Chains A and B, each alone.
Chain A
Amino acid sequence: MISLAARDVLHAWGKFVFTGMGLGLLIGVTLTMAGVYRGMVDDAKVLLNNSGADLWVVQQKTLGPYAEPSSVHDDLYRSILAMPGVADAASVTYLTMQVRQGERDVRAMVVGIVPDGPGVPGYLVAGRQITRSHYEAVADIATGFKLGQLIRIRRHDYTVVGLTRRMVSSGGDPMVFIPLRDAQEAQFLKDNDAIISERNRTAANPAFNRPGVLEAVIDSQSSNPFVNAVLVQIKPGFTAEEVAEPIRRWKRLQVYTRAQMEEILVAKLIATSSKQIGMFLVILAIVSAAIVAFIIYTLTMGKIREIAVLKLIGTRNRTIAAMIMQQAVGLGLIGFVVGKISATIWAPMFPKYVLLEPGDALRGFIAIVFICILASLLAIRAALKVDPAEAIGG
């Protein structure tokens, strides 16, 4: 027996290929949507990996520092260093803002780090780490900054001394690392007028009008003693939970392990986006099904006479149903190939990282085959209703 489906497809290949390409672009979009989601998850994991931290110590009852604002005192790291199992600890700040380079503004997440402490970017693609405690920066390559360039963050200029890669915030903004002191200043910096009026107000307060007190108060007001979190590295031989638990208990702080942080990023922060993308996937699946159903139905209706003849000369219903279903699946296959190729071509052009996972492609493939089979049912029903007597006519 020959394959009626294949013969029909070969005969009308133009129609098939064009429909398949249209479907393919749709499938490409679908795969890309999945890739956007995977990219977000992967970015989150890379962010955690490259943070160099085993534990995140943040303000009590917050999901900080990535998913919620958190504020802890900047001398906290000292007492944490003294806790059992802690190898290293350093304060860190995160602030999303515009960074100016020449005429260009880049939206970036400015990360304040302690040089040599946890939180230093894991590896550089060019240049060196920050060594001085002021006005040096390491930027993610996605910012477009070059080594040696001057970038402006708030009121100060920083020299780009190193470039790193795949360091983006959960919102997709590339990171710019600067020394912690500078970052603290940038984060809480008031403009000059505000500082002067604040000073005047403090000076006018009789409670501070004693020698030495006024100076100390003003000093405390114009510096910023807060950071967003403390990153902790643990000693070998300790589990994350072993180290985290005493900090939680004694310091009345929230401590997250690597696994918990991942859970927060993926389940809380990316959850809305993933629902959004899930919705897209559902719509795209329905649209693809509608297209396949419509095309296969139209092609089948165009063959009603032939189907009547086939039935009259003794073709089994099963053979006719298989012919239609194979064509639908064939359409899906063309679509999948076109979709996979186009997604692979355009994925790198997206501003955010798009991760095309083979597993998603496989799941997509199964879904497409399933959708095509479902979509062919309408046409099959119509074909099976054709009366072989129609071939004889009136």
Chain B
Amino acid sequence: MEDGTKQAEGILIEGMRKRYGEGDTAVDALKEVNMRVMPGEVVGLIGPSGSGKSTLLKCLGAVIEPTAGRMTLGREVIYDNGWQIRDLRALRRDKIGFVFQAPYLIPFLDVTDNVALLPMLAGHPNAESRKRAVELLEALDVAHRAAAMPSQLSGGEQQRVAIARALVNRPPVILADEPTAPLDSQRALAVIRILNRMARQYQTAIIVVTHDEKIIPTFRRIYHIRDGRTHEEAGEGREFE
């Protein structure tokens, strides 16, 4: 708790472990993960296949339970050798934004409602939710497509809508899993630029899992994960604007 109060913001992961299965067939996917991402910061998480990236995202996203360790979000201890929070669904809805490799927009909702759905799920009135959605779409330069269906958007536009959706509930953390994989290098850099801008604007801590050589040089800080262990290193933090 002392650590949590000292580091009052961002996301802090200490000694996180995850074991799949039991006995002979057990797999230790995460052995020792330590990370800290400050509000307004975008960090890269890179590592070879099978190193535990997806496992870590799932733990952070509260969709699987870690085996041990501690996770602090803002001032709140989320996990301390067991969930400290009862309603993980509300946690995901209010505290964590997700951006995936594919945008996974809801095909039967238009762009605005794809974004507005989250505040609606959190109980906000439709009009207010849509207003918030449109504001974000404007910030992300897709407001002109607000009434379109997801299938009518380009890949880059879809990804920006997905980012808007991740941001709309103002979560302190956004987890992005290969968000630039399907995009060409210009679009990929544009997405990273947006993530950086949003991180600063909304004081969000953003973790980007990636293999993408095009964007790796943009991170100021990178966590390498190898065989379930994280190693922090400085990135190039190359200016791209």
Q: Give A contacts to B, CB under 8 Å.
A: 1-2, 4, 7-8, 10-12, 305-306, 309-316, 319, 387-389, 391-394
Q: Is the CB of A312 within 8 A of B92?
A: yes
- What are 21 A-B pairs at a CB distance below 8 A? A1-B120, A2-B126, A11-B108, A11-B149, A12-B108, A305-B104, A310-B106, A312-B63, A313-B92, A313-B98, A313-B117, A313-B118, A314-B92, A314-B93, A319-B121, A389-B63, A392-B54, A392-B177, A393-B54, A393-B177, A394-B54
CA distance A388 to B88 in the complex (A): 11
Let me know if B118 and A389 touch, CB within 8 A: no
Q: Using Cβ atoms and an 8 Å threshold, which residues of chain A touch B122?
A: 314
User: How many B residues touch A, CB cutoff 8 Å?
Assistant: 29
Chain B residues within an 8 Å CB radius of A392: 54, 57-58, 61, 63, 98, 100, 177
Q: Interface code B89-128, partner A: CB below 8 Å = 1, 0 otherwise? A: 1101110001011001011110001000110111000100
Does B165 lie at the interface of the complex (its beta carbon under 8 Å from any beta carbon of A)?
yes
Nearest Cβ on chain B to A319's Cβ, whole angstroms: 7
- Expressed in whole angstroms, the minimum distance between the Cβ of B94 and any Cβ of chain A is 7
Q: B98 near A312 (CB under 8 angstroms)?
A: yes
A7-B113, A392-B63, A393-B54 known; A314-B108 Cβ under 8 A = no
Please list the 4 inter-chain residue pairs (A to B) with the smallest Cβ-Cβ separation, ordered nearest first: A314-B93, A11-B108, A389-B63, A8-B108
Closest approach, in angstroms, between the C-beta of B59 and any C-beta of chain A?
10
- The dominant DSSP class at the A interface is helix
Known pairs A305-B104, A314-B89; list 18 more (Cβ under 8 Å): A1-B126, A2-B113, A2-B117, A4-B106, A4-B109, A7-B113, A8-B108, A11-B107, A11-B108, A309-B104, A313-B93, A313-B121, A314-B90, A388-B63, A389-B58, A389-B63, A389-B64, A393-B100
Q: Which residues of B contact A393 (CB under 8 A)?
A: 54, 100-101, 177
Alpha-carbon distance A313/B88, docked complex (angstroms): 10
**Shortest beta-carbon distance from A283 to chain B in Å:** 34
Q: Whole-angstrom distance between the alpha carbons of A44 and B72 in the complex?
A: 80
Most buried by A among B64, B93, B106: B106
Kindly state the separation between the CA atoms of A4 and B120 in the bound complex, as whole angstroms: 12
Across-interface contacts of A7 in B (CB, < 8 A): 108-109, 113
Contacting residues, chain A, for B149 (C-beta < 8 A): 11
